[in-house]
Structure 1
């Protein structure tokens, strides 16, 4: 199942190390089958709530590949070029398959909630 690395980065001052990171990061994806899905920069259309910063999403074939990329010497070497200058959060999560059904997920959650309430 596809896994996603999602970064919500706050904007910082332009810095040569950030430019170097951007020039090198995509090359670290190749051995692990990663590819950009979203790469910040554009101003998002905010429908609800507030938003600051940039969003970056990278897709990997699976969780093992995403973890291997993040832990790779190639990525660990360049990571400080970003983290020294762009504060933010980075998460890793599994996507859902093509047969995912939100209503079925809600039904399972509802059943667990009802069982927990009955046990109280």
Structure 2
């Protein structure tokens, strides 16, 4: 099942460290099977408020996402972003190709009955 690293970056920065971070991040993703799904675009906000931008990186599974985030290669470059761009980052499991939201609703209903 795929997993995702999501970053909500509240502000953008043109600091040279940020440019170097962007130049180097792909080499930290490759050993863990990570690939950008969303990067470098402003979202269209359909509900609520969303200051800043979003980054979504897909991994084969949550273990590979964790291994990437905790890797020495990524930890070495991470301050280049976090020192200049405030934000939040999460790792989350995705759903499989046959995911059915109605089945999830049924499980939730049964659990509350």
Give TM-score, length-normalised by structure 2: 0.95
How many corresponding residue pairs? 113
2:32 is matched with which residue? 32
CA RMSD of aligned residues (A): 1.0
1:86 is matched with which residue? 85
1:59 is matched with which residue? 58
Q: Partners of 2:37 and 2:2 in 1: how far apart? A: 12
Residues 73-113 of structure 1 show CA distances to partners (whole Å, capped at 9, x for unaligned) of 10010000001011111000110001111001001101111
- Structure 1 residues not aligned, in runs of 5+: 115-120
SS in 2 for 1:24: helix
Moved over 3 A (4+): none
Per the alignment, do residues 107 and 74 of structure 1 end up closer, same or farther by CA in structure 2, a change over 3 Å counting?
Answer: same
Q: Partners of 1:20 and 1:65 in 2: how far apart? A: 23
Q: Which has the larger radius of gyration?
A: 1
2:14 is matched with which residue? 14
Q: Partners of 1:46 and 1:10 in 2: how far apart? A: 14
